[in-house]
Copies of this chain bind each other. A is one copy, B any other.
Amino acid sequence: MVQGATNWNTELTQEWLQNYVDDWVSFYRKHTVDGNVASYIPILQEANRDHLGISIVGKNGMTIRSGDFEVPFTIQSISKVFSFIVACMGRGLSYVLDRVDVEPTGEAFNSIMHLEMTQLKKPFNPMINAGAITVTSMLEGRTSDEKLEPVFQLLERMLDYRPHLNVDAYESERDSSMRNRAIGYYLLETGYLESDLNITLETYFKQCSIEVTLEDLARIGMIIANDGEDPNNKEEIIPRQVARLAKALMLTCGMYDASGKFAAYVGVPAKSGVSGGIIALSPPRVRDEELPFVTGCGIGVYGPALDDKGNSIAGIRLLRHIANQWDLSLF
């Protein structure tokens, strides 16, 4: 925590923060050896496990970039946040929440068991695969491209460019993700799917295969942090209520079955993907002792070496360090 800091000069601060972040990226890069690149989709295995990068985007154009921040990667489960937001914008909150709960489970992301154990068989939350596939089925459109169009439009509004689909990743995913098909057929039987299963899965695999950079994630994070409004031009991109619900879900369920630990030790809303990406964000609320500069910022982290829960091993440690030092925790 940088206590007593009062007169911040933006330029000096940014330089100071940049140096600080550079140091810690170097430090945590050696932690990548403790993790493993995801193997369940062939193309993810091609990632370089030594990579570690971070990007932080805040108000007034503040941008920090460090490490392997230029490596593009597919968003994978991070897309669950975006499809949830788009489904809520398209269908309305109550429609979506009637079909998927918002309760953390303590189970691995690809668990089917919980569906079977509960009476209603309603998916536990939109951040695990069963819930995310249900949410994707609610996207409007007859084809996967029609369904994804509003997702791309949302991203384009936030990023000022339209990210592209990594077709190789999509095909690799489509051809290998058998557990997701199992979940899909399970949902089809229990009646929670709102679209044709194959189109839903096609859409789901495509949304996972959208390619971004860390700066993209940081920018998106900043907008969600600010309740869906771009703090630089005050434009509302996501309805306030939806953005805030997304933040709550990211905090309680965003990091697979390590979400509770992440909330306790890092304390900010975040969502990870098995590609090694993490989107995180700092709340727009101000504490006296805080760096005003990072308030309401968005953070992207990338490190494809994963821990056994499926989260970037060095990425989480880097985030935890920075969040603790800069006092980003909500609590």
Contacts and interface: CB of A to CB of B under 8 A. Distances in A.
A116 B284 CA distance: 41
A153 interface: no
Interface string A265-279: 001010000000000
A113 interface: yes
A188 B178 contact: yes
Interface stretch (A73-81, A138-146, A253-261): A253-261
A178 B329 CA distance: 39
Given A117-B117, A186-B178, A260 B101 contact: yes
Interface stretch (A7-15, A55-63, A104-112): A104-112
A140 B111 CA distance: 32
B259 A104 contact: yes
A249 B330 CA distance: 12
Contacts of A264: 102, 245, 248-249, 252
A234 interface: no
A263 B285 contact: no
Contacts of A269: 331
Contacts of A125: 260
Contacts of A258: 103
A206 interface: no
Interface in A192-246: 244-245
A48 to B, nearest CB: 26
Nearest to A180: B185
Nearest to A253: B260
A112 B114 contact: no
Contacts of A251: 251-252, 263, 330-331
Given A103-B259, A107-B106, A179-B186, A267 B248 contact: yes
Contacts of A248: 263-264, 267, 329-331
Q: Copy number of this protein in the oligomer? A: 4
A178 B182 contact: no
Nearest to A107: B106
A167 interface: no
Contacts of A104: 103-106, 252, 259-260
A31 B113 CA distance: 35
B116 A112 contact: yes
A5 interface: no
A189 B178 contact: yes
Contacts of A259: 103-104, 252
A53 interface: no
A175 to B, nearest CB: 12
A152 interface: no
A283 interface: yes
A125 B258 CA distance: 12
Interface of A: 101-107, 111-114, 116-117, 124-125, 178-179, 181-186, 188-189, 244-245, 247-249, 251-253, 257-261, 263-264, 267, 269, 283-287, 329-331
Given A101-B261, A113-B113, A284-B287, 5 more contacts: A103-B260, A179-B186, A247-B331, A252-B263, A286-B287
